[in-house]
Amino acid sequence: MESTKRLLPNNLSLDDLINTAELEEEKQESVIEYDTDIVSFLLAFDIRQGSYAVTVKLFYDLYKKWSKNPVKKTKFDKEVANFLIRHQKGPNVYYLVDKDVFKVSEEIQKLILGSRIDKTKSKTYKIHFDNFLKKYQLKSGTYYIESFILYFLYDRWAYSINKKNSLSSAQFFNFCKLYFPFKRNSESRVMWFGIEKEGLLRMTKPETILEIRKGRHQRYGKTKQKNKAKISSNKS
């Protein structure tokens, strides 16, 4: 069924934007106006409707840290629901967005975590991480896999068990460092962990891993090109 959610400008094509502008000029008024900065917030992080689930709480925490005059959570949720599909699983409510959870959690972590708490010292989170390893019989090995792939698979598992406060990517990697050998790619700065390949294939299919890797490389490539363009323009 086609979504009835309103489209933000970052979801519109050039033709759609031109048609919308012409329509607004004819009407001499907006179809809908907002007295908050929530639309600006969604545009600032280029958040679009998609299929990845991120909790409403995390979105609101990110918004509160970003906004100079944040609205209350009820108003925030009501307005965001005009643009994003809400999904409830058990007691948890999520927004479905097109950014993968790894990327969103990175942005939230940068703005929210002023001081980082080391969850590897927590017995509760150690049991949680151990359960993740036991579920898929993941062990230390010689097959090196990118950190973001492991985190994607972990986050999918945490979502499936309705884990409220799942590990952020940084905290997850801290645990991985305790259990697996690791190395870092000097160019991309991506960390790789050594595991047994059999355990990885129990978690997911090879083609899924390729899709995750392809998506990451596409995003990284775009960022790299933008940075090169900025450097070139500064030099000129």
Rounded mean pLDDT, 17-30: 43
CA-CA-CA-CA dihedral for 132, 138, 139, 142, to nearest 10? -130
* Distance from C-alpha of 96 to C-alpha of 51, rounded to nearest angstrom: 5
Mean pLDDT of the chain: 77
Among 9-13, 94-98, 171-175, the minimum mean pLDDT is found in 9-13
Q: Which two tokens stand for residue 223?
A: 């960022």
If you search the block for the tokens 């058990």, which residue do you land on?
A: 90
pLDDT tens track for 97-154:
887 766 776 666 666 554 456 788 889 999 999 999 998 889 999 999 999 999 988 9
Rounded mean pLDDT, 164-174: 87
* Distance from C-alpha of 39 to C-alpha of 140, rounded to nearest angstrom: 45
Residue ranges of the domains in the chain? Answer: 9-112, 119-235
